[in-house]
Amino acid sequence: MRRFVIPLVVLLAAGCGQLGRSPEDVAAADARKAAERAGDRVYDARVRPARDMAHRAADLDGVEVMRVTGVSTAGKGVRLVLRTSGTAPDGGWFPTSTVSVRRCFELRFSTTTEWQHYGTRQVSCPAGSPLAFGPWPKTPEIPFERLRKALPRVPKDGKADEARVRAAVASLRLAPAIRREFTTRGGVVGVALTVKPYGSDVFDCVLGRVAPGRTSVWVPPRMQRMAGEGGCSAGNAVDPLPPPH
């Protein structure tokens, strides 16, 4: 008989926790939590265009963007109306099914908004279908292996020639969006191929160093590829920065 006591107590506790709340209310609270979780994932303290914020939200599973207002997260910021769903047991001590609801919530994002403080409030769902977004702009890939094979090799007693390095890079027929930078210092030629992915603060870049006796190609650490760190420069190819700690 004792073995049935604990499950009964658990059921009683669960039932007491829902007293005064209908299954629809519980499901709506679940939908609110889903909207707030979406806000946590969309949140960004940087200045972002309104459409990008909406696009990021629309990429999340179970989230529909019903409306976007504002220009960017600067100033007054951006307001998104997100539609999410929630579920709850249908009530009673021994529920056999669940109740599902869909609700809309307005969240505000700006450069002054703190994480998890979006002023989330339930609103009436706008009429019509959710907003649709195309694919994000594609970032051209920097051909690491092709660059490694194309760059010239120089004998130990020789001297690197920038013109040959430039010709090797030109033979790759890189996408126009990939920036090329060259520099020569002390008989060593450095080359940096750089592209900035859309909406990212971290550059994609590949460095090449052509020196007497050795030609090297590598990708700098992520920290060095961040804006302002100087890791994606031809100078860093000639005289590499020490690895970050």
Tell me the residue range of the domain where 105 lies.
Answer: 21-123
Q: What is the pLDDT of residues 116-148, one digit of tens each?
A: 999 999 999 999 999 999 999 999 999 999 999
Burial (Cβ within 10 Å: 0-12, 13-18, ≥19) of residue 114: exposed
Q: What is the pLDDT of residues 18-74, one digit of tens each?
A: 556 799 999 999 999 999 999 999 998 889 999 999 999 999 999 999 999 999 999
Are residues 171 and 112 part of one domain? no
**Between the CA of residue 59 and those of 119, 131, 229, 243, what are the distances in Å?**
22, 11, 30, 35
Residue 139 falls inside a structural domain: no
Are residues 96 and 151 part of one domain? no
What tokens appear for 154 in the block? Answer: 């120089």
Are residues 109 and 63 part of one domain? yes
pTM: 0.74
**Between the CA of residue 242 and those of 193, 203, 232, 245, what are the distances in Å?**
20, 18, 14, 9
Are residues 191 and 160 part of one domain? yes
Residue 165, phi then psi, degrees to nearest 5: -65, -45
- Total count of domains within the chain: 2
Contact predicate 191/161, CB 8 Å: no
Q: Per DSSP, what are the bridge partners of residue 107?
A: 80
> 25 in helix, strand or coil?
helix
